[in-house]
């Protein structure tokens, strides 16, 4: 008889677990459904906004409207009609001359190429990889060239510190 009661208790516990799982599943499904509805509503608003903007753009760029505006503001804006000789291919457009920034960039790119033949430009080692000249890193963070390397004179020169710095 006690076996029957133990089985009943187990079945009741299983039924309660199943009811709880069903409730949780239903609640989660409702929550996700509400999120889907919210996103669908948001998408619908964005689509309506896009359609409204396309309609406004079509109205703003209507050729007859632009012609009327050009005639109305002709005197104030000094507008002129486009002539066929003004429409050219890309090959007919002259190349832009380099400005001061482009010139400075080209000059700075030429510096490392010239510096390779003259020796190392920077004597401070900033990475753990030893430089090509076979230098070692001393405890002070400065490179110590290997004996007989070409960079030994350049490594002995200490860079100047900015004023007020240590």
Kindly report the three-state secondary structure assignment for every residue of 21-72.
HHHHHHHHHHHHHHHHHHHHHHHHHHHHHHHHHHHHHHHHCCHHHHHHHHHH
- What φ, ψ does residue 55 adopt, rounded to 5°? -65, -40
Whether 96 maps to a domain, the answer reads no
Percent of the residues in the chain that have a pLDDT greater than 70, as a whole number: 63
DSSP-derived secondary structure letter, 136: E
Q: What is the largest CA-CA distance in the chain?
A: 108
Quote the radius of gyration of the chain (alpha carbons, Å).
39
The pair of three-digit structure tokens given for residue 46, joined into one six-digit string:
């964005």
The pLDDT tens digits for 18-77 are 999 999 999 999 999 999 999 999 999 999 999 999 999 999 999 999 889 888 888 888
Model confidence at 155: pLDDT above 50:
no
The residue segments making up the domain with residue 37 are 2-72
Percent of the residues in the chain that have a pLDDT greater than 90, as a whole number: 34
Which of 148, 151, 99 lies closest to 125, judged by CA? 151
Whether 40 maps to a domain, the answer reads yes
Whether 98 maps to a domain, the answer reads no
Number of domains in the chain: 1
Whether 97 maps to a domain, the answer reads no
- pLDDT at 165 (0 to 100): 47
Whether 63 maps to a domain, the answer reads yes
Whether 106 maps to a domain, the answer reads no
Residue 135 burial by Cβ neighbours in a 10 Å radius (0-12, 13-18, 19+): buried
Whether 84 maps to a domain, the answer reads no
Question: What is the value of pTM for the model shown?
Answer: 0.38
Whether 35 maps to a domain, the answer reads yes
């Amino acid at each position: 008889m006690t076996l029957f009661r133990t089985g009943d208790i187990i079945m009741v516990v299983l039924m309660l677990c199943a009811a709880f799982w069903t409730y949780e599943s239903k609640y989660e499904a409702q929550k996700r459904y509400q999120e889907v509805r919210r996103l669908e509503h948001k998408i619908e608003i964005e689509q309506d906004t896009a359609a409204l903007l396309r309609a406004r753009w079509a109205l703003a760029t209507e050729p007859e409207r632009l012609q009327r505006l050009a005639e109305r503001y002709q005197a104030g804006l000094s507008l002129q009609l486009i002539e066929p000789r003004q429409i050219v291919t890309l090959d007919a457009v002259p190349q832009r001359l380099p400005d001061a920034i482009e010139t400075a960039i080209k000059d700075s790119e030429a510096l490392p190429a010239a510096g390779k033949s003259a020796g190392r430009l920077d004597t401070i080692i900033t990475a753990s990889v030893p430089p090509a000249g076979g230098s070692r890193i001393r405890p002070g963070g400065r490179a110590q060239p290997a004996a007989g390397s070409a960079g030994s004179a350049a490594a002995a020169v200490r860079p100047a510190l900015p004023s007020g710095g240590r």
